[in-house]
Chain A
Amino acid sequence: MTIELSDRVESVGPSGIRRFFEIAEERDDVISLGVGEPDFSTPWAARDAAIASLEQGKTSYTANRGKRELREAISRYVEDRFDLEYGADEEILVTAGASEAVDLAFRAIVDPGDTVAVAQPSYISYEPGVIFAGGEVLSVPTRETDDFRLTVEELERAGAADADVLVICYPNNPTGAIMTRADLEPIAAFAREHDLTVLSDEIYAELTYDDTDHTSIASLKGMRERTVVFNGFSKAHAMTGLRLGYALGPAEAIGAMNRIHQYTMLSAPTTPQYAALEALDSCEDDVRKMVDQYDRRRRFVLSRFREIGMACFEAKGAFYVFPEVPSGWTAEEFAEELLHEQGVAAVPGDVFGDGAEGHLRVSYATGLEDLKEALNRIEAFLEERNEVAPIDDS
């Protein structure tokens, strides 16, 4: 007897990242620029709070929507940092990672046959999430010539005016692109004009550089009522494995998401909620220090790509840069040979969707010594092939 799988699941293939993971895991001399999570541990104060909560036996369920104290802290935090006003009672839902929030939103908002426009390249979960919810994905590419920002022109060209939902993620994984208030205004206008619900994944919101603070599209005029924002503690507070995120939105949307959440998850894990509370309470300095470190590495990596002659747009967010592979290569070939010959793992952009062809996602969530060595190896790889003459800066 065999178990017959659902068409929905079978229509979604395994992630393209998986194959690279397998090759990289086979070798022990690999320097990985393919990691999508911080190399820092959770700030000690937050870990300590989690431990203390365990010692005190605080291991039962919390309220479905998350501990009230935590929701209040989140409410204060997002107002303080991003000018977002959401009430702790009805407009905030604490989830098991921002990933759960994304899934809940799709299931709460998308009807079978609905069209969900997704700005790409983007994090790999949106497309499967839409499909699992029965919706149809409309890919809207972003371009290197636009610094990988979403434009109204591309939205129109893709036919997003007829879509029901728009998904954006800035600061962006995999490109490192950000969108300023001025960049977001026309997108917001487009969403209002065509009555789109916007799902805005802002998990990297704390990680912006060069004095460009993050702007949430939900803070723009007339957008709050049509937007659900996803954020969490994974990236800024280096808490990926603790799985804690949250959604912010109008009461009806959050209420609908909570309806699914209360039947499927019941409540986000309790211990991480204590860690998160402490993270918001006392770990701002730790976050700033991590951001400073990322920024230095970002500059270092961008400088090195310039020096070795690989074109790379100046990413100002998340912890990724997105260099272009030399002409004549596909990103996949380049990434594969680089891994085989030099033991450097980077993820080919293609796995992140349209607009990413010919690029590599390079994560700088890795110590400087490793970044240095990895860039030296990439340089050697290019030199062996006479691929690029070093650019003379002088």
Chain B
Amino acid sequence: MSEREVLELLRENARYSTADIARMTDLEESAVEETIESLEEAGVICGYQPVVDWDELEDERVRAEVELNVMLDRETGYGDIAERLARFPQVTALRLVSGDYDFDMEVEGDSIREVSQFISEKVAPVPEITQTVTHYVMTSYKENGIELGDGDDDDRLSVSP
């Protein structure tokens, strides 16, 4: 049970200190540390990253959502294709999805040219891939459950009954 609670808190803010998590859950700090370690070892927690609003940075960051259709054969399954694609560092997310296409792939790069080249030279030629449809991200409004842009101001009275 404490695993679930610790995980929830880290999903809310992965930078909560173990001491603060302990205070919020009434667990011992050492128990929190152990829980996190065991979640990491079990591969439940695979990493920690900040949620970035790229629009707030000077440097351009190009991201694209790519729909992939694939043709399977006796020797090649979805997993084989996924493994091959996921190795590219440009691919930031890769999911098998239901519906009109097979894979939903997220790609990141420094320019449209770089991302386009990656898709045309590295992805499209993969023999099992029959079609790619690339959607460049124009603006992001919410990432990982966090709304981007200016937060809501607290307009409550500073002291109220």
Contacts and interface: CB of A to CB of B under 8 A. Distances in A.
Contact of A37 (B9, B25, B160): B160
A347 B159 contact: yes
B25 A299 contact: yes
B161 A304 contact: no
Q: Which of A37, A303, A372 has the most CB of B within 10 A?
A: A303
B10 to A, nearest CB: 13
A162 to B, nearest CB: 29
Contacts of A125: 161
B160 A303 contact: no
Interface string A18-51: 0011001100001010111101010000000000
B23 A24 contact: no
B24 A25 contact: no
B24 A36 contact: no
Interface string B136-161: 00000000000000001010111111
Contact of B25 (A21, A39, A296, A368): A296
Contacts of B24: 296-297, 299-300, 368
Interface residues of A, number: 28
B20 interface: yes
Contact of B160 (A34, A304, A368, A372): A34
A35 B158 contact: yes
A123 interface: yes
Contacts of A123: 161
Interface string B29-61: 000000000000000000000000000000000
Interface in B5-19: 9, 13
Nearest to A370: B154
A15 interface: yes
Contact of B157 (A15, A21, A124): A21
A25 B158 contact: yes
B156 A39 contact: yes
Contacts of A382: none
Given A39-B154, A296-B9, A299-B25, A21 B160 contact: yes
B161 A36 contact: yes
A124 B161 CA distance: 7
A345 interface: yes
A36 B133 CA distance: 52
A34 B25 contact: no
Contacts of A173: 161
Nearest to A301: B23
Nearest to A292: B8
A35 B156 contact: yes
A17 B161 CA distance: 7
B73 interface: no
B23 A21 contact: no
B26 interface: yes
Contacts of A372: 20
Contacts of A41: 152
Interface string A295-313: 0110110011000000000
B158 A24 contact: yes
B5 to A, nearest CB: 9
B158 A36 contact: no
Contacts of A296: 9, 24-25
Contact of A304 (B23, B157, B159): B23
Interface in A312-352: 345, 347
Nearest to B9: A296
Contacts of A297: 24
Q: Which of B13, B23, B159 has the most CB of A within 10 A?
A: B159
A148 to B, nearest CB: 17
A21 B156 contact: no
Given A296-B9, A299-B26, A21 B159 contact: yes
B81 to A, nearest CB: 37
Nearest to A22: B159
Given A41-B152, A300-B20, A372-B20, A30 B25 contact: no
Interface string A246-259: 00000000000000
Nearest to B26: A299
A299 B13 CA distance: 17
A348 to B, nearest CB: 11
A15 B24 CA distance: 34
A304 B24 CA distance: 10
B149 to A, nearest CB: 15
Contacts of B26: 299, 303
**Which 6 A/B pairs are nearest by Cβ-Cβ distance?**
A34-B159, A303-B23, A296-B24, A21-B159, A24-B158, A32-B158
Interface of A: 15, 17, 20-21, 24-25, 30, 32, 34-37, 39, 41, 123-125, 173, 296-297, 299-300, 303-304, 345, 347, 368, 372
Given A17-B161, A35-B158, A303-B22, 5 more contacts: A17-B159, A32-B159, A34-B159, A39-B156, A125-B161
9 contacts: A17-B161, A21-B158, A35-B156, A35-B157, A39-B154, A124-B161, A173-B161, A296-B9, A300-B23
